[in-house]
Amino acid sequence: MARKKEYKEEEVIEKAMALFWNNGYETTSMQMLEKEMGINKFSIYASFGNKNGVFLECMKCYKKKLNQIILPLKNATDGMKGLKQYFYDFIEFSRDPQIARGCLITNTANELNEDADPTIKAELSKFTGEIRTHFANALKRNTTKDAITIENQADYFLISMFGMASASRVFPKEQLHNYIENIFKNA
Amino acid sequence: MARKKEYKEEEVIEKAMALFWNNGYETTSMQMLEKEMGINKFSIYASFGNKNGVFLECMKCYKKKLNQIILPLKNATDGMKGLKQYFYDFIEFSRDPQIARGCLITNTANELNEDADPTIKAELSKFTGEIRTHFANALKRNTTKDAITIENQADYFLISMFGMASASRVFPKEQLHNYIENIFKNA
DNA sequence: CCAATAACTAAACGATTGTTTAGTTATTTA
DNA sequence: TAAATAACTAAACAATCGTTTAGTTATTGG
């Protein structure tokens, strides 16, 4: 043992995540990360390997943060009602005082092309799968639905969510609310 | 007058557009444009000013190309039916043999942050407005709808289209078809 | 046919990217 | 207290970015 680390990995990752969330993967440079995380490049590379490593850790951090709106969905007795509330909750969750950040995961999926880092791509589809499972589980709590309907609707709401997350960076809140109402109109 | 140009602007822009469409704005470098357009950097700057200028011209080119699926929408007697067909048409329109390219405009909106070039941002929202007008005009052809419903639905389908264009780069065709069917289920 | 001029080639520009490395400081253990 | 070692600072790395510029080639009009 020798000199002690002057920062906690979890704390600096939270700051890095905020940066990636606001600016996207490519736009966020090591220089920006250095400044925002408050530690030297050497320390970043010692702790996380490289820029990719920092980002992967940020995705984990984002997932944890997202739990604050996933939990109510899990606990909703009326699955469909809980799902609709999740859509509304997400808009508030994604809204920074200043700018509309969308979803870190969706933003990354939109930004990357197919020859991107495989580890990140794998994490993206893993995340998508998890959200889909949350949606399907919620729908199962509405006992009147048969299995096929549940799978179809889970797919439908998953793409709707992906779309809304993207659109939330561009369109105003009222239009997004109107969008949600139409999505769930006859569901 | 002196030496003649050895290329036609319209032709090289078409190639540039394909590149931007496949790879996005930032990922597409001047080096790649040089190679794909088949002309020297000097010629690119002489004809279009800078990278931004090339891209703006590509957006015009994209709009023209998109007309091939906008025209059927304009001519559809049943507006709602035409709109649904437009969603289906877009999936084919956006699908390159190899990769799912999505929509050049939507891709750019997803990629850019708020401090991007104002000219491009203006062109993006202009495009969005035009598409919304096409949607509203189609819906007006269904005489049973009142004005407020038309505006609400135009907003709804606009965001749905934006979302689907983004999602089309990630999700398989069958899921997208399922998405369209649900969007138009009770409309 | 020659001077004028526009379009070409190719090299270089400064700035910034992600990453590495040499050298210094602080803490631990023997 | 002194040797060992991990964490720090800061400078430099090669590669690439968008853009510019000097020099050459081809076509025009007088």
With CB atoms and an 8 Å threshold, state whether A155 touches B179.
yes
Among all chains, which residue has been given the structure tokens 């809140």? A173
More confident residue, A13 or A98: A13
Nearest to A175 among B111, B155, B176 (CB): B155
- pLDDT band for position B179 (cuts 50, 70, 90): very high
Q: Is the dihedral of CA B81, B63, B168, B154 positive or negative?
A: negative
pLDDT value for A118: 95
pLDDT of residue A186 exceeding 80: no
DSSP labels, B20-64: HHHH-TTTS-HHHHHHHHTS-HHHHHHHHSSHHHHHHHHHHHHHH
Q: What percent of chain B has pLDDT over 90?
A: 90
Each domain of chain B, given as residue ranges in start order, spans 9-185
- Taking CB atoms and an 8 Å cutoff, what residues of chain A touch B106? 166
Q: Distance (Å, rounded) from C-alpha B161 to C-alpha A163? A: 8
Q: Distance (Å, rounded) from C-alpha B163 to C-alpha B157? A: 10
Q: Distance (Å, rounded) from C-alpha A62 to C-alpha A13? A: 10
Which residues lie below 8 Å from residue B123, measured CB to CB, with a gap of 6+?
B56, B59
pLDDT in tens, B102-126: 999 999 999 999 889 999 999 999 9
pLDDT of residue B2 exceeding 80: no
pLDDT of residue A56 exceeding 70: yes
pLDDT value for B134: 98
Q: Which CATH architecture has domain A9-185?
A: Orthogonal Bundle (1.10)
pLDDT value for B145: 79
pLDDT value for A31: 97
- pLDDT band for position A143 (cuts 50, 70, 90): confident
Long-range contacts of A28-36 (CB under 8 A, 24+ apart): none
Nucleotides of C under 7 A from a protein CB: 4-11, 16-22, 25-29
pLDDT in tens, B130-173: 999 999 999 999 878 799 999 999 999 999 999 999 999 999 99
Chain center to CA of A27: 18
- The A 17-46 residues near strand C by Cβ under 7 Å are 26, 28-32, 41-42, 45
The overall pTM is greater than 0.85: yes
Q: What is the CA radius of gyration of chain A?
A: 18
B131 burial level (CB within 10 Å; 0-12, 13-18, 19+):
buried
pLDDT in tens, A148-161: 999 999 999 999 99
**Lookup: tokens for A155:** 């797919």
pLDDT in tens, A9-41: 999 999 999 999 999 999 999 999 999 999 999
pLDDT of residue A131 exceeding 90: yes
pLDDT value for B1: 61
pLDDT value for A140: 95
Q: Cβ(B27)–Cβ(B19) under 8 Å?
A: no
pLDDT value for B80: 96
Please compute the mean of the pLDDT values over residues B4-31 and round it to a whole number. Answer: 96
pLDDT of residue A1 exceeding 70: no
List C-alpha distances in Å: A174 to A140, A168, A181: 30, 11, 11
